[in-house]
Amino acid sequence: MKITAYFNLVIGLGYSPPAWASLTAGALVLVTLILSVYLLLEHLQAYKNPEEQKFLIGVILMVPCYAVESFVSLINPSISVDCEILRDCYESFAMYCFGRYLVACLGGEERTIEFMERQGRASSKAPLLEHGSEKGTVNHPFPMNYFIKPWKLGQWFYQIIKIGIVQYMLIKALTALLAVILEAFDVYCEGEFKLGCGYPYMAVVLNFSQSWALYCLVQFYAVTKDELAHIKPLYKFLTFKSIVFLTWWQGVAIALLYSLGLFKSPIAQGLQFKSSVQDFIICIEHRWPLLLLFTCMCSLQSHMS
pLDDT of residue 297: 52
- pTM of structure: 0.74
Cα–Cα distance measured from residue 26 to residue 225, given in angstroms and rounded to the nearest whole number: 39
pLDDT of residue 294: 57
pLDDT of residue 157: 92
**Concatenated DSSP letters of 142-173:** TTGGGTSPPEESSHHHHHHHHHHHHHHHHHHH
Q: pLDDT: is 12 or 287 the higher one?
A: 287
Q: Is the pLDDT of residue 4 over 50?
A: no
**156: nearest Cα among 179, 174, 137, 170:** 137
Q: Is the pLDDT of residue 210 over 90?
A: no
pLDDT of residue 167: 93
263 pLDDT band, cuts 50/70/90, is: low
For the segment 180-192, the average pLDDT, to the nearest whole number, is: 83
- Spatial neighbors of 146 by CB under 8 A, at least 6 apart, are none
Cα–Cα distance measured from residue 100 to residue 106, given in angstroms and rounded to the nearest whole number: 10
pLDDT of residue 53: 82
How confident is the model over 189-199, as pLDDT tens digits? 877 788 889 98
- Averaged confidence pLDDT in the chain: 77
Cα–Cα distance measured from residue 88 to residue 225, given in angstroms and rounded to the nearest whole number: 28
pLDDT of residue 15: 59
> What amino acid is encoded at 77 in this protein?
P
pLDDT of residue 43: 76
For the segment 245-266, the average pLDDT, to the nearest whole number, is: 71
pLDDT of residue 172: 86
3-state secondary structure of 137: strand
Q: Is the pLDDT of residue 271 over 80?
A: no
pLDDT of residue 135: 62
- Spatial neighbors of 27 by CB under 8 A, at least 6 apart, are none
pLDDT > 70 in the chain, percent: 76
Q: CB 208: neighbour CB atoms within 10 A? A: 12
How confident is the model over 53-103, as pLDDT tens digits? 888 888 888 888 888 888 898 888 778 777 878 887 888 888 888 888 889
pLDDT of residue 274: 64
Angle between the 80-105 and 50-60 helix axes, to the nearest 10 degrees?
160
Domain range list for the chain: 2-106+154-304
Please state which of the ranges 10-14, 83-87, 168-172, 178-182 shows the lowest mean pLDDT. 10-14
Domain 2-106+154-304 sits in CATH 1.20.1070: yes
